[in-house]
Structure 1
Amino acid sequence: MQKKPKNKAARTAPFSSWHIILIIVLSFITYSNALAGNFVWDDELQIVKNWQIRDVRHVGLAFSSAFWAFAGPETGRTNFYRPVQTLTYMLAYLIGGLSAWSYHFVNVLFHTSASIILYLICIEYGISSVASLLACALFVTHPIHTEAVTWNAGTPDVSCGMFYFASIFLFLRYLNSGRKKWLWLAALAFLVACFSKEMAITMPIVAVLLLLAKGQLRQGRFRKALIDLAPLFAAGLVYIGARLAALRFLSTTHLNIETGVLDWATLGLRVFGQYIHYALLPYPLSAYHLIPLHLPDRVLSTLLYTGCIAVTALIVFMANQRVGGIGVWSIIFAVTLIPVFNFKGISQTFFAERYLYIPTMALSVVLALLLNKARNHAKIVTAAVVFVFAVLTFVRNADWQSDEKIYESILRVQPEVAHIRNNLADIYIKRGDDTRAKSYLETALQYLESNVYVQSDWERYRGHVGLGAIAARGQKYVEARQHLNKALELYPRGDWAYLYLGGVIMEEDGDYASAIEYFKKAIDLGPLNEVARDYMGIALFNMKRYQEAARYFREALEINPTYKDAETHLAMATRALAS
């Protein structure tokens, strides 16, 4: 009696361990200068002032609260439920404390791992190792990824990308082998990806598309397909349950603006077209993109990007006739972008380069499929593009070396961004360059008069606070009070306006008791305002209340351990107590 032959697993292309090594080397060379970068932009708040990451005993808080909960109850009401981000920062803190290099190193490590997994996805999909390597090398070096990899606040994107890619690879491995362990590991990777960033929630849709590509959704196989998808849906339910328990809601809005359906619909087309543009041609790069909300303010760009979508769809359709799989992976590119169209739940910019980190994975597979059928000259051209991309990425990394460089690079592309002008003004105020700071603050207020872009009243508040601080430093106290009171009209809960008003009272009148009341208000409104605590300590020190002053200086250092002024003042208070 003859034995029945066993079902053979689907063929996968052989891979080379040398290719893995090449990917690792290419990734670390491309991002080698990123390791020397400082903390920039949101890094100071998300990392330096984030007390949760300094103690592993706070692991539970990472899963039971929003990411921003460390910054206070008002800031904590956010859509960002990202336990893996907090855990990653904890790991980087264990490695290097508050030295920026360790956070950069972890990000590059995530990117390198994601790139290796992308290579394995291509191999698992049956693409040749050479084509897989070239497509993966393009992903490694793609300049659009600098924001996600080089910026420490981009950790959610690269960590989510790594686990998302792992889920796809493991799901493909399951489809090729039929072994259930790969399916459950895919579900686990999907869950961790969700805990990294909300974009991962699209994975079950991607799984359906992969089943379709593999012919698993033919008539009579729907029951098996549902069984195949069940672990992923179970993981999704676990994530939703954890999210609801921590946030008490699935999603909230950060943008309280009402406009017509036509504006929102055409904005979606405009933004999707821009994502295609930047995925294929990453220029001009900017860490902040302003896009008009209302259609009359962007008719031409909307028409151009709609045309871009139509032409791309036609090219994909034609290419799919010659190379199978291109259509499915192009749809996956679009599917992975679905979460970023929750415009009211994200931010006021509507478009961000780091949101392309996961979608470009699908684009890389499309390229690998094309290269798999292409002649050698196409592979040589791709290798040349990889080299050019690596150089461009290396150069772009330099923009992320400091706050001043990245802000100036943004304003070169889009000078209307009031938020960035205010940020640059803060830098120059700290340097004592009041003339330059005042120029940025005044132009920020001028740009805010326009209704073309959605920009927050918070930036108007910041502009007047900055001008008030400059006037106070120049002993123009009447002007300072006018700006600071205007700031409080715009935002009555603004801690910095109360802080500087207290400073004016302390400097002009020498009335430390009255100044202290303003500092108390600033401290109540600003849980992470170390400067308010430092000013409170200064007032108490001048009243010879050294013990209380020392307490506030310590509080300032607990918030920001790198704050040198508080360190100096604490030493003064300690000496006064000892004498």
Structure 2
Amino acid sequence: MKLKPCYQILILAAIVLCVYYPALSAGVCSVDDPRIIAAYNAGAGKTLMDLFRPSGTYYYRPLIELSYYLDNLLWSMHPRFMHLENILFHALNTMLLFLIARQVAAAWSIKAPWFPLAGAMLFAVHPINTEPVTWIAGRTDPLAAAFVFAALWCLLRSLSTDRLLYLCPALLLFVLGVLTKEVAICFLPVAMLLAACWPAPARSRRIVLLVLAGVAASCGLLLSILAALSPTLSVSNLLGNQVGGPLAALRTVTAALGFYLKKLVVPFPLNFAIDAVSALYLVPAILFLLLVPFWLKKRSLAAVLGAACAIFLLPALVVSLGHVAWTPFAERYLYLPSAFMCLGVAGQASVLLERGNRQRWLLPAAVAIAVIAGSLTVQRTFVWQNNLALFRDTVGKSPGFGAAHLELGVALLLKGELRHGREEIETAERLNDRPSIRSLIKQNLMAVRLDEGDYQGAREYFFRNFDSLDQAGPEFLQMLVKADEGLARQAADAAVRDGIYRGMIGTYRLLYLKTRDPFNLYQSGKVAQERGDRAEAMAYFRQAVREAPADTHYRAAATKMLQRLEVGQ
């Protein structure tokens, strides 16, 4: 049976849409997604120039920022449309991989007619890709992969047709990929590997290799200059949190390699927060590194694609050394490597079946695997339907990861399960070793005490963490005021209540000094009025009216209160 390539492409697109259809209802993941939506919505005031201006962080990804900017313009950051984009990017990548496989099959004389369809189908349904496709913030990988695959297709067209003109769009697409996510830089060594091993005219290969080597040298020089000029981008800063020296770093990277190699073949258990890997993964990593040189000598398709897979794993190995992401290990980093692994497996299976004249078995075998893998991917997609299900799953698989307990606790609080939410966040506080979320944990623990009506407990928790009001940030001071408001309402003794009010005025005064927000002056005036101190209340209201913007609601209220107090003098 023969099926035209255009129909095979449509089948692949349909498979992706069917498998990932539940992701349309996945909503907003509490990790990174709210930050993205807040940063690019209409109120954020971002301009096109802002997107392309370096931010001074590890990342410079203007094209992924542009995609979120367009999300706001086109559909106001609606999660359903943003999920649909991710699914469509994955469908596009699957189709591009199919086209790449067709060129590879022609060059390596693979006679199995279903090899391109089988390889692309395995990639389409591979469970390891659920995270980058289903998570809004995971879009970086599918979008970068789209540019990488398109660049690779152009490169292979150049090698296959001996027309160097295809190199120009290949290099342009490569640059666009790098501007989407740094992992796209690995296109250069992979392109050089393919050019060196491609069964094409020697003249064409030499010219392509020369051009790619020149581009690689230019990129290396540019990165060296950037690293020298920017401490943020320096290797020493990236690895600053690594403990144990070079030997420990080598052990971490090698174990990460073994772990990722295993994940590509056996992706389970799927986990959103992988905070550590076993030292046993050193074994497969070392075996792989020992076998690769002998494997590459054959220049077989499986060897070349396996090496390409390993090259695209390199950025993930670097990330495992530092705290530059939510977790040091992540399934989303395997999006690009999984494509080459799937092609390699399908290619090797095609070669083996050809030897036994059983090429027709390839498609049924691929379909059987795809059905199993696709059903597991659908199940995983349902886990991503809501934060409570996702983080219950995550905590069950990474019980020692404090940040996961924090996210689960917040999800439980939003469901109204205050006691269980508080327990999870307290667990997060006990387990956490990351300074970046320490303050967030404390904010949530103080907030849950307020939600429970434990105002005294909230106040005591505040002073357990801060020796004085000056040490606390505005968010903690605002919660302290709420705690004092609750205590004032509960106070039966007038003297006690008056003391609480005096403390609240002091807190509001400090909030004003820290934020320069006149609303805190207005609040101070209201508290002073509650105390019966007319002169102090009038002084705060006057200052609030003088400093508040004309369009604020409390300016008019402060004006009325000031007039009433002046009339009563």
Do the two structures share a fold, i.e. TM-score over 0.5? Answer: yes
Report whether the alignment pairs 1:285 with 2:270.
Answer: yes
C-alpha distance in 1 between matches for 2:522 and 2:345: 60
Q: Distance in 1 between matches of 2:509 and 2:239?
A: 32
Within the candidate set 306, 317, 322, 1:330 is matched to 306
TM-superposed CA distance for 1:538, in Å, is 7.5
**What amino acid maps onto 2:64 in structure 1?**
Q
Query: Is residue 207 of structure 1 aligned with residue 191 of structure 2?
Result: yes
Cα 1:573/1:366, change in 2 over 3 Å: farther
- Flag the 1:494–1:368 CA change in 2: closer, same or farther, 3 A: farther
Q: Does 1:413 align with 2:402?
A: no
Taking structure 1 as reference, are residues 248 and 410 closer, same or farther at Cα in structure 2, changes over 3 Å only? closer
Residues in 1 aligned to 2:518 and 2:196: alpha-carbon distance in whole angstroms? 60
- CA distance, structure 2, for counterparts of residue 286 and residue 368 of structure 1: 26
Task: Give deviations 1:477-498, integer Å, cap 9, x for gaps.
Answer: 4432332244457995755333
Aligned 8 A contact 2:301 2:348 in 1: no
State the distance in 2 between where 1:457 and 1:170 align.
Answer: 45
Cross-structure match for 1:364:
342
Tell me, yes or no, if the aligned pair for 1:333 and 1:363 is still in contact at 8 Å. yes
Q: Deviations over 1:27-55 (max 9, x none)?
A: 11111110122111234433221147778
Query: Which residue of 2 is the match for residue 153 of structure 1?
Result: 137
- Residue type of the alignment partner of 2:267: P
Q: CA deviation at 1:234?
A: 5.6
Counterpart for residue 78 of structure 1: 57
Q: Which runs of 5+ in 2 are unaligned?
A: 488-499, 530-536, 562-569
- 1:19 matches 2:30: no
Partners of 1:133 and 1:26 lie apart in 2 by: 12
The answer on whether the counterparts of 1:16 and 1:129 sit within 8 Å (CA) in structure 2 is no
Residue correspondences, number = 518
CA distance in 2, matches of 1:108, 1:442: 37
Alpha carbons of structure 1 residues 18 and 523: separation in structure 2 relative to 1, 3 Å = farther
Listed one character per residue, the Cα deviations across residues 134-179 of structure 1 (whole Å, up to 9, x for unaligned) are: 1101101111111100000001111011111111111111111222
Contact 2:23 2:382 in 1 (8 A): yes
Cα RMSD between the aligned structures? 4.1
Question: 1:72-151 counterparts in 2 under 5 A?
Answer: 77-125=56-104, 126=106, 127=110, 129-151=113-135
Q: CA deviation at 1:310?
A: 4.8
Deviation per CA, 1:227-272: give whole Å up to 9, x if none. 3544566678789889999997466438534323222111111111
Contact (CA 8 Å) 1:143, 1:390: kept in 2 or not?
Answer: yes
Q: Is the 8 Å Cα contact of residues 46 and 153 (structure 1) preserved in structure 2? A: no
Please report the TM-score for the alignment, with normalisation by the length of structure 1. 0.77
* Structure 1 runs not aligned, ≥5 long: 1-12, 67-76, 293-300, 449-454, 525-531, 556-568
Change (3 A) 1:221 1:167: closer
Residue in structure 2 matching 1:352, options 330, 348, 366? 330
2: CA distance, partners of 1:275 / 1:537: 57
Higher mean alpha-carbon deviation, 42-51 vs 97-106, is at: 42-51
1:275 aligns to 2:264 (yes or no): no
Q: In structure 2, what residue type is equivalent to 1:325? A: L
Report if the CA contact (8 A) 2:254-2:286 is conserved.
Answer: no
After superposition, the Cα gap between the structure-2 partners of 1:153 and 1:493, relative to the gap in structure 1 and judged at 3 Å, is farther
CA distance in 1, matches of 2:172, 2:548: 46
Q: Which shows bigger deviation, 498-507 or 311-320?
A: 311-320
Partner residue of 1:45?
34
1:262 maps onto 2:275 in alignment:
no
Report the counterpart of residue 48 of structure 2 in structure 1. 59
Retained in 2: the 8 A contact 1:144–1:353? yes
Change over 3 Å in CA distance of 1:186–1:107 after alignment to 2: same
Match of 1:467 among 441, 445, 454: 445
Cα deviations by residue, 1:42-86 (Å, 9 ceiling, x for unpaired): 3443322114777897122111123xxxxxxxxxx4212111111
Partner of 1:429: 413
Question: Which residue identity lines up with residue 264 of structure 2 in the other structure?
Answer: A
- Which AA in structure 1 matches 2:391? Y
Deviations 1:296-349 (A, max 9, x none): xxxxx323x122235556887898799922111111111111112222263363
C-alpha distance in structure 1 between counterparts of 2:13 and 2:333, whole Å: 23
Query: For the Cα contact (< 8 Å) 1:41–1:403, is it kept in 2?
Result: yes
Distance in 2 (CA, whole Å) between partners of 1:533 and 1:197 is 42
Contact 1:441 1:467 in 2 (8 A): yes
**Partner of 2:52: helix, strand, or coil?**
helix
* 1:377 partner amino acid: W
Secondary structure at the residue paired with 1:415?
Answer: coil
Deviation at 1:107, TM superposition (A): 0.8
Query: Structure 1 residues 415 and 49 mapped into 2: Cα distance closer, same or farther (>3 Å)?
Result: same
Identify if the C-alpha distance between structure 1 residues 334 and 426 changes in structure 2 by more than 3 Å, giving closer, same or farther: same
Quick check: 1:505–1:514 contact (8 Å CA) kept in 2?
Answer: no
Indicate how the Cα distance of structure 1 residues 194 and 129 shifts in structure 2: closer, same or farther if over 3 A, else same. Answer: farther
Q: 2:279 aligns with which of 290, 302, 306?
A: 302
Structure 1 window deviating more from structure 2 (224-233 vs 412-421): it is 224-233
Alignment match of 2:461 (pick from 480, 483, 488): 483
Q: Distance in 1 between matches of 2:162 and 2:3?
A: 19
CA radius of gyration, larger in: 2
Tell me: CA distance 1:118–1:533, structure 2 relative to 1, closer, same or farther (3 Å). farther
Q: In the superposition, relative to structure 1, how do residues 434 and 117 fare at CA in structure 2: closer, same or farther (>3 Å)? A: same
Q: For 1:510 and 1:243, locate their aligned partners in 2 and report how far apart those are by CA, in whole Å.
A: 53
- Report Cα offsets for 1:104-152 as digits up to 9, x if no partner: 0111111111111111111111255511111101101111111100000
